[in-house]
């Protein structure tokens, strides 16, 4: 009994240590940065010259009047909506194809389409910069075009979107495959007995039952793409002009290029609440539909 008691005490102590370390981790790397951003958003904060002067809500009023802020928000929303729509569409279609009993080489295809998803975004971005190169890029070469994709304000944002869609649709495919595997067989058996076509089964059974899965993909994608930054930094640096500025890239620019940490903090807080609001609305709409 003593050994059992000691073993239980050891397990209990180990759990306490793990919980304590996790709390410290979240406090240092999550709670403290958010708290500092919230406090700093009310200050004229420039760490390069030691400035940290309270200025109330001035940072917020200034960014709301800033044309670049609204351009960045608009680009971010366009980027997010377009990429999410194609991510959901391609992910669903590929999942349906792989789930089909007629599909061959399922294991191989599941490996191939998911490889871009697990590849570091920086590496993928550099590869696509090469593909888009106007002199020796494969895209112009294959299609016989002469377009400077990343330096043209009409094509730059769309080019970054295309890369992001290609990299990320594998995630949606995996989620949809899981959703398809969890669908009840009796519904489809009843539809077969009634003579329902493949399209009718998809329209009246598969798609309605996959709505929670679609919402999961859409919400997680929205949270991710509203913070898009790395591909913008690597591929366009916000250019040409401000045509590919996103809100996260603008925050980076204000903080680490202009050293306006107060303004950057205010933008971060606005983005934080904007993401939270959109997420709550999405879950509320899903709950009402269900």
Any idea what the CATH number is for the domain that residue 104 is in? 1.10.3720.10
**Same domain? 83 vs 190:** yes
Task: Report the alpha-carbon distance of residue 270 to residue 287 in Å, rounded.
Answer: 26
47 and 21 assigned to the same domain: yes
Distance (Å, rounded) from C-alpha 112 to C-alpha 273? 37
Query: Helix, strand or coil for residue 54?
Result: strand
Cα separation, 233 vs 245, in Å, equals 9
Domain boundary among 43, 58, 73: 58
Whether the model pTM is above 0.85:
yes
What domain range is 38 assigned to?
Answer: 2-58
CA angle 30, 31, 32 (to 5 degrees): 95
- Residue 75, number of CB atoms within 10 A of its CB: 23
Six-digit token pair at 62? 């200034």
Q: How far apart are CA 99 and CA 16, in angstroms?
A: 44
Residue 7 reports pLDDT greater than 70: no
Strand 43-46 relative to strand 51-54, pairing: antiparallel
90 and 129 share one domain: yes
The verdict on 206 and 101 lying in the same domain is yes
The answer on 172 and 69 residing in a single domain is yes
Domain's final residue, options 40, 58, 76: 58
Same domain, 114 and 188: yes
**Are 74 and 176 in the same domain?**
yes
How confident is the model over 24-47, as pLDDT tens digits? Answer: 988 888 889 889 999 999 999 998
Task: Specify the higher pLDDT residue, 97 or 5.
Answer: 97
Q: Nearest 10 degrees: CA dihedral of 22, 120, 227, 63?
A: 110
Do 80 and 187 fall within a single domain? yes
Same-domain status, 103 and 25: no
How many domains does the structure of the chain reveal? Answer: 2
User: What pLDDT sits at residue 4?
Assistant: 46
Of 131-135, 153-157, 193-197, least confident by mean pLDDT is 193-197
Q: Tell me what percent of the residues of the chain surpass a pLDDT of 90.
A: 53
| Domain shared by 122 and 183, yes or no | yes
Q: In whole angstroms, give the CA distance from residue 67 to residue 279.
A: 26
> 116 and 190: one domain?
yes
**Same domain? 51 vs 67:** no
């Amino acid at each position: 009994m003593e050994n059992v008691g000691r073993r239980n005490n050891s397990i209990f102590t180990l759990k306490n240590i793990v919980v304590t370390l996790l709390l410290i981790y979240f406090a240092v790397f999550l709670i403290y940065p958010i708290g500092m951003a919230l406090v700093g958003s009310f200050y004229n904060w420039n760490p390069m010259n030691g400035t940290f002067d309270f200025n109330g809500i001035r940072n917020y009023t200034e960014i709301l009047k800033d044309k670049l802020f609204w351009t960045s928000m608009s680009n971010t929303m366009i980027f997010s909506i377009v990429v999410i729509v194609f991510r959901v569409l391609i992910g669903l279609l590929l999942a349906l194809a792989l789930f089909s009993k007629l599909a061959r080489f399922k294991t191989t295809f599941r490996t191939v389409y998911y490889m871009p998803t697990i590849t570091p975004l920086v590496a993928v971005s550099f590869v696509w910069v090469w593909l888009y190169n106007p002199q020796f890029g494969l895209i112009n070469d294959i299609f016989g075009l002469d377009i400077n994709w990343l330096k043209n304000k009409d094509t730059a944002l769309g080019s970054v979107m295309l890369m992001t869609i290609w990299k990320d649709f594998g995630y949606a495919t995996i989620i949809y495959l899981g959703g398809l595997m969890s669908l009840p067989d009796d519904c489809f058996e009843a539809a077969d007995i009634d003579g329902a076509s493949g399209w009718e089964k998809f329209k009246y059974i598969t798609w309605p039952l996959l709505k929670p899965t679609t919402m999961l993909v859409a919400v997680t994608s929205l949270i991710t793409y509203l913070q898009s930054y790395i591909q913008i930094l690597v591929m366009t640096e916000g250019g040409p002009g401000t045509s590919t500025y996103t809100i996260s890239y603008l925050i980076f620019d204000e903080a680490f290029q202009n050293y306006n940490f107060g303004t950057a903090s205010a933008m971060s807080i606005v983005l934080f609440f904007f993401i939270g609001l959109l997420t709550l609305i999405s879950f509320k709409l899903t709950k009402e539909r269900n």
